[in-house]
Amino acid sequence: MAPQLTGISTDSNWARGVGAGTAGVAELLVFHPVDTIAKRLMSNKAKVSSTGLNAIIFKSAASAPLPTRLLSLFPGLGYAAGYKISQRIYKFGGQPLFNDLLKKNYKDNFTNVFGERNGKLMMQATAGSLTGIGEVVLLPLDVLKIKMQTNPEAFRGRGLFRIVAEEGSALYRGWGWTMARNAPGSFALFGASALTKDYVLKVSDYSKATWTQNFIASISGAVASITIAAPLDVVKTRIQNANFESKVPGIVVVRELIRNEGMGAFFKGLTPKILVVGPKLVFSYTLAQSLIPWFAKFI
Protein backbone atom coordinates (compact mmCIF):
# COMPACT_ATOMS: atom_id res chain seq x y z
CA MET A 1 0.00 0.00 0.00
CA ALA A 2 1.33 3.46 -0.85
CA PRO A 3 2.04 5.87 2.04
CA GLN A 4 -0.93 8.01 2.89
CA LEU A 5 -1.21 11.73 2.40
CA THR A 6 -2.78 13.34 5.46
CA GLY A 7 -6.53 13.28 5.07
CA ILE A 8 -6.41 10.85 2.10
CA SER A 9 -7.10 7.13 2.18
CA THR A 10 -5.63 4.48 -0.13
CA ASP A 11 -5.35 6.47 -3.35
CA SER A 12 -2.68 5.63 -5.90
CA ASN A 13 0.56 7.58 -6.23
CA TRP A 14 -0.51 8.57 -9.75
CA ALA A 15 -3.75 10.04 -8.40
CA ARG A 16 -1.79 11.93 -5.75
CA GLY A 17 0.53 13.32 -8.36
CA VAL A 18 -2.21 14.43 -10.73
CA GLY A 19 -4.41 15.78 -7.95
CA ALA A 20 -1.60 17.68 -6.24
CA GLY A 21 -0.33 18.97 -9.58
CA THR A 22 -3.77 20.26 -10.54
CA ALA A 23 -4.06 21.97 -7.18
CA GLY A 24 -0.67 23.55 -7.83
CA VAL A 25 -1.86 24.95 -11.19
CA ALA A 26 -4.98 26.46 -9.62
CA GLU A 27 -2.97 27.89 -6.73
CA LEU A 28 -0.48 29.42 -9.16
CA LEU A 29 -3.09 31.26 -11.18
CA VAL A 30 -4.79 32.66 -8.09
CA PHE A 31 -1.78 33.54 -5.92
CA HIS A 32 1.15 34.21 -8.27
CA PRO A 33 0.48 38.01 -8.31
CA VAL A 34 0.65 38.22 -4.52
CA ASP A 35 3.87 36.19 -4.53
CA THR A 36 5.30 38.65 -7.07
CA ILE A 37 4.41 41.61 -4.83
CA ALA A 38 6.02 39.93 -1.81
CA LYS A 39 9.21 39.14 -3.76
CA ARG A 40 9.48 42.70 -5.06
CA LEU A 41 9.01 44.15 -1.58
CA MET A 42 11.69 41.80 -0.18
CA SER A 43 14.07 42.80 -2.97
CA ASN A 44 13.58 46.53 -2.49
CA LYS A 45 16.55 48.04 -0.62
CA ALA A 46 15.23 51.58 -0.22
CA LYS A 47 12.79 52.88 2.35
CA VAL A 48 9.23 52.45 1.13
CA SER A 49 7.13 55.60 0.80
CA SER A 50 3.49 55.81 -0.12
CA THR A 51 4.39 57.45 -3.43
CA GLY A 52 7.13 54.95 -4.27
CA LEU A 53 5.16 51.82 -3.46
CA ASN A 54 3.45 51.80 -6.85
CA ALA A 55 6.81 51.77 -8.67
CA ILE A 56 8.16 48.98 -6.44
CA ILE A 57 5.15 46.74 -7.03
CA PHE A 58 4.49 47.38 -10.73
CA LYS A 59 8.00 48.45 -11.81
CA SER A 60 8.01 49.76 -15.42
CA ALA A 61 4.23 49.38 -15.64
CA ALA A 62 3.62 51.71 -12.68
CA SER A 63 2.09 54.45 -14.85
CA ALA A 64 0.33 52.09 -17.27
CA PRO A 65 -3.44 51.39 -17.33
CA LEU A 66 -4.79 49.04 -14.66
CA PRO A 67 -5.04 45.91 -16.91
CA THR A 68 -1.38 46.33 -17.93
CA ARG A 69 -0.34 46.79 -14.32
CA LEU A 70 -2.18 43.63 -13.29
CA LEU A 71 -0.58 41.62 -16.10
CA SER A 72 2.83 42.87 -14.94
CA LEU A 73 2.32 40.81 -11.77
CA PHE A 74 2.54 37.58 -13.80
CA PRO A 75 6.23 37.56 -14.88
CA GLY A 76 7.95 34.20 -15.07
CA LEU A 77 4.65 32.34 -15.08
CA GLY A 78 6.14 29.44 -17.05
CA TYR A 79 9.00 29.00 -14.59
CA ALA A 80 6.59 29.48 -11.70
CA ALA A 81 4.32 26.77 -13.12
CA GLY A 82 7.17 24.27 -13.36
CA TYR A 83 8.28 25.11 -9.84
CA LYS A 84 4.88 25.24 -8.16
CA ILE A 85 3.50 22.04 -9.71
CA SER A 86 6.69 20.11 -8.95
CA GLN A 87 6.87 21.58 -5.47
CA ARG A 88 3.27 20.69 -4.59
CA ILE A 89 3.62 17.14 -5.90
CA TYR A 90 6.84 16.72 -3.95
CA LYS A 91 5.58 18.37 -0.75
CA PHE A 92 2.17 16.71 -0.57
CA GLY A 93 3.64 13.29 -1.38
CA GLY A 94 7.11 13.59 0.13
CA GLN A 95 6.26 14.44 3.73
CA PRO A 96 4.13 11.31 4.28
CA LEU A 97 6.91 9.18 2.77
CA PHE A 98 9.49 10.63 5.14
CA ASN A 99 7.05 10.23 8.03
CA ASP A 100 6.56 6.56 7.17
CA LEU A 101 10.33 6.03 7.06
CA LEU A 102 10.74 7.66 10.47
CA LYS A 103 7.92 5.57 11.96
CA LYS A 104 9.36 2.39 10.53
CA ASN A 105 12.96 2.98 11.65
CA TYR A 106 12.95 5.51 14.50
CA LYS A 107 9.53 5.46 16.16
CA ASP A 108 10.90 3.99 19.40
CA ASN A 109 13.59 6.68 19.55
CA PHE A 110 11.05 9.48 19.20
CA THR A 111 8.71 7.84 21.72
CA ASN A 112 11.49 7.34 24.29
CA VAL A 113 12.61 10.97 24.03
CA PHE A 114 9.29 12.81 23.61
CA GLY A 115 6.64 10.33 24.73
CA GLU A 116 3.93 8.66 22.63
CA ARG A 117 1.85 11.71 21.81
CA ASN A 118 4.64 14.27 21.37
CA GLY A 119 6.77 11.72 19.56
CA LYS A 120 4.11 11.49 16.85
CA LEU A 121 4.10 15.28 16.53
CA MET A 122 7.89 15.44 16.34
CA MET A 123 7.96 12.79 13.62
CA GLN A 124 5.48 14.85 11.59
CA ALA A 125 7.60 17.97 12.05
CA THR A 126 10.91 16.19 11.35
CA ALA A 127 9.46 14.56 8.22
CA GLY A 128 8.41 18.03 7.09
CA SER A 129 11.90 19.38 7.73
CA LEU A 130 13.50 16.59 5.69
CA THR A 131 11.03 17.27 2.89
CA GLY A 132 11.89 20.96 2.98
CA ILE A 133 15.62 20.27 2.74
CA GLY A 134 15.05 18.03 -0.27
CA GLU A 135 13.24 20.86 -2.07
CA VAL A 136 16.66 22.26 -2.97
CA VAL A 137 16.59 20.05 -6.10
CA LEU A 138 13.87 22.39 -7.46
CA LEU A 139 15.99 25.48 -6.80
CA PRO A 140 16.80 26.36 -10.46
CA LEU A 141 13.10 26.77 -11.26
CA ASP A 142 12.65 28.91 -8.16
CA VAL A 143 15.68 31.03 -9.11
CA LEU A 144 14.37 31.67 -12.64
CA LYS A 145 10.90 32.52 -11.29
CA ILE A 146 12.29 35.03 -8.78
CA LYS A 147 14.56 36.68 -11.35
CA MET A 148 11.65 37.12 -13.73
CA GLN A 149 9.56 38.63 -10.92
CA THR A 150 12.21 41.04 -9.62
CA ASN A 151 15.06 41.39 -12.14
CA PRO A 152 13.97 40.47 -15.69
CA GLU A 153 16.94 42.42 -17.09
CA ALA A 154 19.14 39.51 -15.95
CA PHE A 155 17.78 37.40 -18.81
CA ARG A 156 18.90 39.84 -21.54
CA GLY A 157 16.78 38.15 -24.17
CA ARG A 158 18.10 34.65 -23.50
CA GLY A 159 15.80 31.65 -23.54
CA LEU A 160 15.57 28.85 -20.98
CA PHE A 161 17.93 26.38 -22.67
CA ARG A 162 20.60 29.01 -23.31
CA ILE A 163 20.43 30.17 -19.69
CA VAL A 164 20.78 26.60 -18.39
CA ALA A 165 23.70 25.91 -20.76
CA GLU A 166 25.53 29.14 -19.89
CA GLU A 167 24.83 29.40 -16.17
CA GLY A 168 24.97 25.74 -15.09
CA SER A 169 25.66 25.48 -11.38
CA ALA A 170 25.01 29.21 -10.93
CA LEU A 171 21.31 28.31 -10.91
CA TYR A 172 21.93 26.61 -7.56
CA ARG A 173 23.41 29.76 -6.05
CA GLY A 174 21.94 30.24 -2.60
CA TRP A 175 21.29 26.51 -2.11
CA GLY A 176 22.71 26.56 1.40
CA TRP A 177 20.48 29.46 2.44
CA THR A 178 17.53 27.73 0.80
CA MET A 179 18.08 24.58 2.85
CA ALA A 180 18.63 26.68 5.98
CA ARG A 181 15.30 28.40 5.34
CA ASN A 182 13.35 25.27 4.40
CA ALA A 183 14.46 23.10 7.31
CA PRO A 184 12.95 25.19 10.15
CA GLY A 185 10.18 26.52 7.92
CA SER A 186 8.86 23.09 6.95
CA PHE A 187 9.43 21.82 10.51
CA ALA A 188 7.18 24.63 11.77
CA LEU A 189 4.62 24.12 8.99
CA PHE A 190 3.96 20.44 9.63
CA GLY A 191 4.75 20.59 13.34
CA ALA A 192 2.43 23.50 14.17
CA SER A 193 -0.30 22.00 12.01
CA ALA A 194 -0.05 18.64 13.80
CA LEU A 195 0.17 20.38 17.19
CA THR A 196 -3.01 22.35 16.48
CA LYS A 197 -4.91 19.26 15.39
CA ASP A 198 -3.76 17.20 18.38
CA TYR A 199 -3.82 19.66 21.28
CA VAL A 200 -6.29 22.37 20.19
CA LEU A 201 -8.76 20.46 18.01
CA LYS A 202 -8.35 17.10 19.81
CA VAL A 203 -7.87 15.14 16.57
CA SER A 204 -5.81 12.05 17.24
CA ASP A 205 -6.15 10.55 13.74
CA TYR A 206 -5.08 13.36 11.40
CA SER A 207 -6.50 11.55 8.35
CA LYS A 208 -10.00 12.01 9.82
CA ALA A 209 -9.73 15.78 10.29
CA THR A 210 -12.67 17.72 8.84
CA TRP A 211 -12.28 20.50 6.27
CA THR A 212 -12.69 23.10 9.03
CA GLN A 213 -10.09 21.41 11.22
CA ASN A 214 -7.63 21.25 8.32
CA PHE A 215 -8.37 24.92 7.61
CA ILE A 216 -7.51 25.99 11.17
CA ALA A 217 -4.45 23.74 11.43
CA SER A 218 -3.13 24.86 8.04
CA ILE A 219 -3.31 28.53 8.96
CA SER A 220 -1.46 28.06 12.24
CA GLY A 221 1.19 25.94 10.54
CA ALA A 222 1.65 28.30 7.61
CA VAL A 223 1.90 31.44 9.73
CA ALA A 224 4.46 29.79 12.01
CA SER A 225 6.45 28.57 9.02
CA ILE A 226 6.52 31.87 7.14
CA THR A 227 7.42 33.90 10.24
CA ILE A 228 10.25 31.61 11.32
CA ALA A 229 11.68 31.35 7.80
CA ALA A 230 11.24 35.05 6.90
CA PRO A 231 14.79 36.32 7.68
CA LEU A 232 16.47 33.54 5.69
CA ASP A 233 13.90 33.91 2.93
CA VAL A 234 14.87 37.58 2.48
CA VAL A 235 18.56 36.65 2.22
CA LYS A 236 17.78 33.83 -0.23
CA THR A 237 15.68 36.15 -2.40
CA ARG A 238 18.40 38.84 -2.46
CA ILE A 239 20.96 36.25 -3.60
CA GLN A 240 18.67 34.79 -6.25
CA ASN A 241 17.38 38.01 -7.80
CA ALA A 242 20.84 39.40 -8.61
CA ASN A 243 22.32 39.21 -12.10
CA PHE A 244 23.63 35.77 -13.02
CA GLU A 245 27.27 36.89 -12.90
CA SER A 246 26.91 38.21 -9.36
CA LYS A 247 28.74 36.05 -6.83
CA VAL A 248 28.08 37.93 -3.61
CA PRO A 249 27.98 35.41 -0.73
CA GLY A 250 25.04 35.30 1.64
CA ILE A 251 27.03 36.55 4.63
CA VAL A 252 27.84 39.75 2.69
CA VAL A 253 24.14 40.17 1.90
CA VAL A 254 23.35 39.82 5.61
CA ARG A 255 26.05 42.33 6.63
CA GLU A 256 24.96 44.94 4.07
CA LEU A 257 21.29 44.42 4.89
CA ILE A 258 21.88 45.07 8.60
CA ARG A 259 24.17 48.05 7.96
CA ASN A 260 22.02 49.78 5.33
CA GLU A 261 18.47 48.78 6.23
CA GLY A 262 18.44 47.64 9.84
CA MET A 263 17.22 44.43 11.46
CA GLY A 264 13.64 45.09 10.43
CA ALA A 265 14.64 44.46 6.81
CA PHE A 266 14.80 40.72 7.57
CA PHE A 267 11.00 40.79 7.70
CA LYS A 268 10.33 42.78 4.53
CA GLY A 269 7.37 41.37 2.64
CA LEU A 270 6.22 39.37 5.67
CA THR A 271 2.80 41.01 5.93
CA PRO A 272 1.61 40.21 2.39
CA LYS A 273 3.00 36.70 2.74
CA ILE A 274 1.14 36.11 6.00
CA LEU A 275 -2.03 37.57 4.51
CA VAL A 276 -1.86 35.08 1.66
CA VAL A 277 -0.43 31.91 3.24
CA GLY A 278 -3.65 31.00 5.05
CA PRO A 279 -5.95 31.13 2.01
CA LYS A 280 -3.15 29.87 -0.26
CA LEU A 281 -2.38 26.77 1.79
CA VAL A 282 -6.01 26.01 2.58
CA PHE A 283 -6.92 26.48 -1.10
CA SER A 284 -4.29 24.08 -2.45
CA TYR A 285 -4.56 21.60 0.43
CA THR A 286 -8.36 21.37 0.26
CA LEU A 287 -8.36 21.18 -3.53
CA ALA A 288 -5.74 18.42 -3.49
CA GLN A 289 -7.75 16.41 -0.97
CA SER A 290 -10.85 16.74 -3.15
CA LEU A 291 -9.13 15.98 -6.46
CA ILE A 292 -6.92 13.07 -5.41
CA PRO A 293 -9.77 10.62 -4.57
CA TRP A 294 -11.64 11.82 -7.67
CA PHE A 295 -8.66 11.08 -9.93
CA ALA A 296 -8.19 7.74 -8.14
CA LYS A 297 -11.48 6.56 -9.69
CA PHE A 298 -9.96 6.87 -13.16
CA ILE A 299 -6.24 6.16 -12.67
Q: Which domains does the chain have, with CATH numbers?
A: 31-296 (1.50.40.10)
pLDDT of residue 233: 80
- What is the model's pLDDT at position 188? 92
Q: What backbone torsions phi and psi does residue 265 show, to the nearest 5 degrees?
A: -65, -20
Q: Is 181 exposed, middle or buried (0-12, 13-18, 19+ CB in 10 A)?
A: buried
Does this model's pTM top 0.75? no
pLDDT of 10 above 50: no
Q: Is the pLDDT of residue 276 over 70?
A: no
Give me the mean pLDDT over the 107-115 stretch.
94
Q: Tens of pLDDT along 165-215?
A: 766 667 777 788 788 888 998 899 889 988 998 999 998 877 777 778 878
Name the average pLDDT for the chain: 79
Q: Span 9-14, mean pLDDT? A: 58
Q: How confident is the model at residue 5 (pLDDT cuts 50, 70, 90)?
A: very low
